[in-house]
Amino acid sequence: MTGVGASGVPKRRKRAPAQPAAYQPHECAILSIDPGEVSGWALLVTGLVCASGTAAGSTERASAIARAVNKAHFWSRPLVVVAETWPRRMRGGVPTGALSAWSLWRESLAESGIPKRRVVRVHVGRWSAAILGGAALTTEQRRARSIARARHETARESIDHDEAAAICIGIYASRSPEVAKVLPKRRSA
């Protein structure tokens, strides 16, 4: 709300028009994270899944981050971290495990020297609508569709739902306007 109109009715703020997704994947490495008690993570370079897994402890988080930093350095690409965020008013509230897990990821990212400006949060409804089709999916539908999409992208049969969500977040991020905003601008010749 931005104020009260002449009639005493609150004015609503107009939303900015949504930016279209990029046609080509961004030239960067993306570490996508689905925070939770067991967090899923995926590493994509220029839109292709290079690695993925789950992390339940600090060693696994540090290993995933180090792998992403090394891969970005090897391919001479900037690294962008993209993590899922949740609605403020979620049925049953935001899972406390997810909130505490994200704070642990933030600490690990800071320790690794990844700048805050290269960390992007993407709303669960935004990436799932774009990648899985349908904005109003139940948790069970989102899990089933994300597992199917991750199996298709990786050609692996055994994928956990946390890992699958991270892969789908990365697929969305590889062409998203949110990532385009934080990438360094190309130098003109």
* pLDDT given for residue 164 in this prediction: 96
pTM of the model: 0.83
Helix/strand/coil percent split, the chain, to 5: 45, 20, 40
Q: How many CB atoms neighbour CB 104 within 10 A?
A: 15
Q: What would the pLDDT profile of 11-58 be if each residue is shown by its tens digit?
A: 666 655 556 666 789 999 999 999 988 999 999 999 999 999 999 999
Q: Are strands 48-55 and 39-45 parallel, antiparallel or unpaired?
A: antiparallel
CA atoms within 13 A on the CB side of 54: 13
User: What domains can you pick out in the chain, each with its CATH number?
Assistant: 25-180 (3.30.420.10)
Cβ-count burial 130-162 (b if 16+ within 10 Å, e if not): bbbeeeebeeeebbebbbebbeebbeeeebbbb
Q: What would the pLDDT profile of 101-153 be if each residue is shown by its tens digit?
A: 889 999 999 999 999 999 999 998 899 999 998 767 888 999 999 999 999 99
* d(C-alpha 107, C-alpha 149), whole Å: 30
